[in-house]
């Protein structure tokens, strides 16, 4: 193998092991054994399992964020269509990159900061916030709540995605339609000054 091919092989092996066992339970010895190489080869390419893990997480984060940003990238589209595209893009990523999603939602090493699942969701929420603010403004609502509403929507999709990963029913298209149904009709009847009924 060339150095590049070996590196890609180690990334694929590491990705599989991190998804199966998590970061803490995966050892350099195991990575080397699965790849049929010596431990020094792993250290030579990545400096250790932390370096390999960082590469895997960075690739998965880029893949998921790219898919979500592409789904939200046409401001001329109706907001409901954007919501549908984003929900479907998220579920498609889970379906097509199951190992990667399992890695992203697991606890990452304590040194991790940017590039984590929560920072990725924050990036997506910022994009959704801009879309929501424009829609709220058009409907003469205050835009100060756009940040909170964006995080509620992103949280709903992210948590539902974790549940759906294990069940895979209904289909991703139907699950996306259900998420959009709940959020769209909730936003459609949004009160300008919501109050708790019991107070």
Phi, psi at 181, each rounded to 5°: -55, -50
Instruction: Work out the percent of the chain whose per-residue pLDDT is above 70.
Output: 95
> How far is Cα 173 from Cα 180, in angstroms, rounded to an integer?
11
Angle of the 172-188 helix axis to the 146-167 helix axis, nearest 10: 160
Asked if residue 43 has pLDDT above 50, the reply is yes
Instruction: Work out the percent of the chain whose per-residue pLDDT is above 90.
Output: 60
User: Of the candidates 55, 49, 53, which has an alpha carbon nearest to the alpha carbon of residue 32?
Assistant: 49
Highest mean pLDDT (candidates 54-58, 117-121, 127-131): 54-58
Highest mean pLDDT (candidates 13-27, 114-128, 148-162, 185-199): 13-27
Average pLDDT over residues 55-75: 90
Cis peptide upstream of residue 170 (ω within 30 degrees of 0): yes
The pLDDT score that the predictor gives to residue 111 is 45
> How far is Cα 31 from Cα 49, in angstroms, rounded to an integer?
8
Asked if residue 90 has pLDDT above 70, the reply is yes
Phi, psi at 144, each rounded to 5°: -65, -20
Q: 91-103 pLDDT, tens per residue?
A: 999 999 999 999 9
> How far is Cα 157 from Cα 167, in angstroms, rounded to an integer?
15
Asked if residue 36 has pLDDT above 50, the reply is yes
> How far is Cα 110 from Cα 100, in angstroms, rounded to an integer?
19
Highest mean pLDDT (candidates 33-37, 112-116, 118-122): 33-37
Domains of the chain: 3-49 (1.10.10.60), 57-189 (1.10.357.10)
Phi, psi at 113, each rounded to 5°: -130, -90
Question: Tokens 């080869």 sit at which residue?
Answer: 41
pLDDT band at 147; cut points 50, 70, 90: very high
- Total-model pTM: 0.84
Asked if residue 109 has pLDDT above 60, the reply is no
């Amino acid at each position: 193998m060339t150095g590049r091919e070996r590196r890609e092989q180690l990334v694929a092996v590491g990705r599989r092991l991190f998804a199966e066992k998590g970061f803490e339970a995966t050892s350099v010895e195991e990575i080397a054994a699965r790849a049929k190489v010596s431990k020094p080869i792993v250290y030579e390419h990545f400096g250790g399992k932390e370096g390999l893990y960082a590469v895997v997480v960075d690739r998965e984060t880029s893949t998921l964020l790219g898919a979500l940003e592409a789904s939200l990238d046409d401001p001329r589209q109706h907001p409901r269509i954007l919501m549908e595209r984003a929900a479907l893009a998220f579920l498609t990523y889970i379906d097509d990159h199951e190992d990667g999603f399992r890695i992203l939602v697991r606890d990452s090493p304590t040194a991790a900061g940017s590039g984590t699942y929560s920072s990725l969701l924050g990036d997506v929420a910022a994009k959704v916030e801009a879309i929501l603010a424009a829609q709220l403004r058009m409907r003469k609502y205050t835009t100060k709540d756009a940040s909170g509403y964006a995080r509620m929507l992103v949280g709903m999709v992210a948590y539902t995605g974790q549940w759906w990963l294990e069940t895979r029913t209904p289909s991703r298209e139907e699950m996306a339609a259900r998420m959009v149904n709940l959020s769209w009709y909730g936003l459609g009847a949004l009160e300008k000054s919501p109050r708790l009924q019991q107070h």
